[in-house]
């Protein structure tokens, strides 16, 4: 199932009808009794029974997101793709929805593919993380390895700007210079080479492959040697 980023829900439907759509399109033949019963069960799990007959247009942001989750759960999936599912919500509602995700995961044995730019949310939700740059994986690792020992310079730069009470990267906050290349006119070499202060000739001519550097830790960088990125070997960011 799929939970989109946009949960404006402008359909002229009630909450119950919209969640029922998660079972299957029913406009032509009508829903079966089992579809109706399973939809009611989903609404109960999300504590949305009282909203069942309310028009979608009369919902708050947090309620709309819960309805969107309900539609995804209505098909009783094993995998849910979540595309920035809390980016439009305020911090308090974000916390409620994320806790709901984790509770549903435990109760329904769900797997999430969580797409987000919010590293705090990613750290809270995910077991394994893939960091992408211009459509390619720069680094893939378990949560602990990625946040404590990022090997790719791009991953390190992302983590350096996450607010922390005690900032661990010795070089402090990293500011990347320049702009990303055009994704429709990519040049040879590593896609990050135009913004990486460590880039060498090989980085400008040969695209690195994603390779294993540790248990459940993979990186696409020519400059990672003996499991360490250039910023790790030198002790600080040189840009």
pLDDT in tens, 200-232: 999 999 999 999 999 999 999 999 999 899 888
N-term to C-term CA, the chain: 42
Q: Are 93 and 65 in contact (CB under 8 A)?
A: yes
Q: Which pLDDT value is given to residue 224?
A: 94
Q: Which pLDDT value is given to residue 91?
A: 83
Confidence of residue 26 (pLDDT cuts 50, 70, 90): low
pLDDT at 16 over 70: yes
Mean of per-residue pLDDT scores for the chain = 86
What tokens were used for 32?
A: 């079966």
Confidence of residue 27 (pLDDT cuts 50, 70, 90): low
Q: Which pLDDT value is given to residue 180?
A: 86
Four-point Cα dihedral 185, 190, 191, 192, nearest 10? -140
How far is Cα 72 from Cα 112, in angstroms, rounded to an integer?
12
Backbone angles phi, psi at 191, to 5 degrees: -70, -15
Confidence of residue 8 (pLDDT cuts 50, 70, 90): low
How far is Cα 76 from Cα 56, in angstroms, rounded to an integer?
22
Name the residue with higher pLDDT: 135 or 45.
135
Q: Are 219 and 205 in contact (CB under 8 A)?
A: no
Q: What is the pTM of this model?
A: 0.83
pLDDT at 107 over 90: no
Per mean pLDDT, which range of 23-32, 76-85, 153-162 is the poorest?
23-32
pLDDT at 149 over 60: yes
E strand or H helix at 205? helix 201-205
Confidence of residue 78 (pLDDT cuts 50, 70, 90): very high
């Amino acid at each position: 199932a799929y939970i989109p980023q946009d949960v404006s829900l402008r359909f002229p439907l009630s909450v119950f009808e919209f969640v029922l759509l998660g079972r299957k399109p029913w406009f032509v033949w009508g829903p079966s009794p089992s579809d109706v019963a399973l939809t009611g069960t989903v609404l109960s799990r999300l504590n949305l029974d009282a909203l069942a007959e309310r028009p979608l247009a009369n919902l708050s942001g947090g309620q709309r997101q819960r309805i969107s989750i309900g539609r995804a759960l209505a098909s009783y999936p094993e995998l849910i793709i979540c595309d920035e599912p809390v980016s439009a919500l305020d911090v308090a509602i974000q916390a409620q929805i994320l806790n709901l995700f984790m509770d549903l995961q435990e109760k329904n044995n769900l797997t999430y593919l969580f797409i987000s730019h919010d590293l705090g949310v990613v750290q809270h939700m995910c077991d394994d993380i893939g960091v992408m740059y211009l459509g390619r994986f720069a680094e893939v690792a378990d949560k602990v390895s990625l946040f404590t020992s990022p090997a790719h310079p791009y991953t390190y730069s992302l983590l350096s700007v996450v607010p922390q009470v005690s900032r661990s990267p010795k070089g402090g906050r990293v500011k990347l210079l320049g702009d990303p290349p055009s994704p429709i006119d990519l040049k040879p070499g590593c896609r990050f080479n135009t913004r990486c202060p460590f880039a060498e000739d090989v980085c400008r001519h040969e695209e690195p492959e994603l390779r294993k550097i540790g248990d459940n830790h993979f990186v696409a960088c020519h400059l990672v040697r003996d499991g360490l990125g250039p910023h790790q070997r030198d002790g600080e960011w040189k840009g």
